[in-house]
Amino acid sequence: MKIYAHRGSSGTHPENTISAFKAAAALPVHGVEFDVHMTKDGELVVIHDEKINRTSNGQGYVKDMTLAQLESYDFGAWFSSKFKGEKIPTLREVLYVFKDTHHHINIELKSDVFPYEGMEEKAINMLRDYRLVNRVVISSFNHEMIQSFKEKAPEVETAILFMEVMVAPHLYAEAVGADALHTFFPTVFRRMGQEAVASGKKVRVFTVNEEAYVDMLMSVGIDAIFTDYPKKMLDYLNNR
Ligand code: G3P
Ligand code: CA
């Protein structure tokens, strides 16, 4: 079972910052996951929430601020004074961290609340620029966006994100054009989990921070877990 560092090594570093990504890049984990929003001036930036309030010393929506405005805030001190001065990273800056590493890169397009016009095209151009199309999976809770992404870039792996137990999600994923299923981990303990794994589509689950769940998840046959504590989970898997 593979491990993805969720929002970077976000249990030990401020989530979705360059230090969280450098910490993840230094680990022999399979992959990394992070979240993307779009600024007022059309830049793709890496942050989880629609607003900057929780993870910075500023306030307001990402979509209402330019990149220059966003870069004036501190995205590290809320986590620990040790990380004071961390900036919001652009997608380009994060891809640069993983440009020459072995890591699989899960980019979550956070377009489920605000429809960011042109987000897919910008992401596709960047991935082609960096020659990363074969090392990326694009996921979203906005399944219309996944469908449209797949139409525009069929060579890029895609995944639907969902939270609830569904009937036959692998068939739904097929209809959307998604190659993989990314789901809240308890859903795979239901029949749908076994069916999804048996369908041959990769099933990856979030967010698994407790070792206690790992053995159960391995017995289901999922491909990977997303965790905020990649080092801890790696040590557990290596020593079990
Ligand atoms: O991509 C898996 C997981 O990150 C989805 O939920 O809210 O942490 O982005 P969230
Ligand atoms: Ca995410």
User: Residue 105 pairs with which residues in a beta bridge?
Assistant: 32, 136
Percent of the chain with pLDDT over 90: 99
Report how far residue 159's alpha carbon sits from residue 135's, in angstroms, rounded to the nearest whole number.
14
Burial, 61: exposed, middle or buried (Cβ in 10 Å; 0-12, 13-18, 19+)?
middle
Contact 149, 171 (CB under 8 A): no
**Mean residue pLDDT across the chain:** 97
- Average the pLDDT over 89-110 and give the result: 98
3-state secondary structure of 159: strand
What are the pocket residues of ligand 1 if the criterion is a CB atom closer than 6 Å to any ligand atom?
Answer: 6, 33, 35, 48, 108, 139, 161, 182, 206-207, 226
Q: What is the pLDDT of residues 24-83, one digit of tens each?
A: 999 999 999 999 999 999 999 999 999 999 999 999 999 999 999 999 999 999 999 999
Report how far residue 62's alpha carbon sits from residue 15's, in angstroms, rounded to the nearest whole number.
16
Q: What are phi and psi of 145, to 5 degrees?
A: -70, -40
What pLDDT was estimated at residue 155? 97
Concerning whether 48 is annotated as a catalytic residue, the answer is yes
Structure token pair of residue 149: 């992404």
Report how far residue 104's alpha carbon sits from residue 111's, in angstroms, rounded to the nearest whole number.
22
Give residue 81 CA to ligand 2 midpoint distance, Å.
Answer: 25
| Length, in residues, of the chain | 240
Of all atoms in ligand 1, which is nearest to the CA of residue 204? Answer: 2
Give residue 180 CA to ligand 1 midpoint distance, Å.
Answer: 15
What pLDDT was estimated at residue 168? 95
What pLDDT was estimated at residue 21? 98
Of all atoms in ligand 1, which is nearest to the CA of residue 33? Answer: 1
| Ligand 1 pocket mutation, candidates 108, 146, 157, 225, criterion most atoms within 8 A of CB | 108
Residues with CB under 5 A from ligand 2 (ion): 35, 108
- Average the pLDDT over 131-140 and give the result: 97
What pLDDT was estimated at residue 111? 94
What pLDDT was estimated at residue 7? 99
What pLDDT was estimated at residue 53? 98
3-state secondary structure of 51: strand
List the chain domain ranges.
2-239
Q: Using 50, 70 and 90 to split pLDDT, how confident is the model at 142?
A: very high
Contacts of 33 (CB under 8 A, 6+ apart): 4, 5, 6, 7, 106, 108, 206, 226
**The domain 2-239: what is its CATH number?**
3.20.20.190
Contact 181, 163 (CB under 8 A): no
Find the distance separating the first CA and the last CA of the chain, reported in whole Å.
13
80, 106, 129, 216 from 155: Cα distances, Å? 40, 15, 14, 33
Contact 20, 44 (CB under 8 A): no
């905020």: which residue's tokens? 228
- Average the pLDDT over 191-195 and give the result: 94
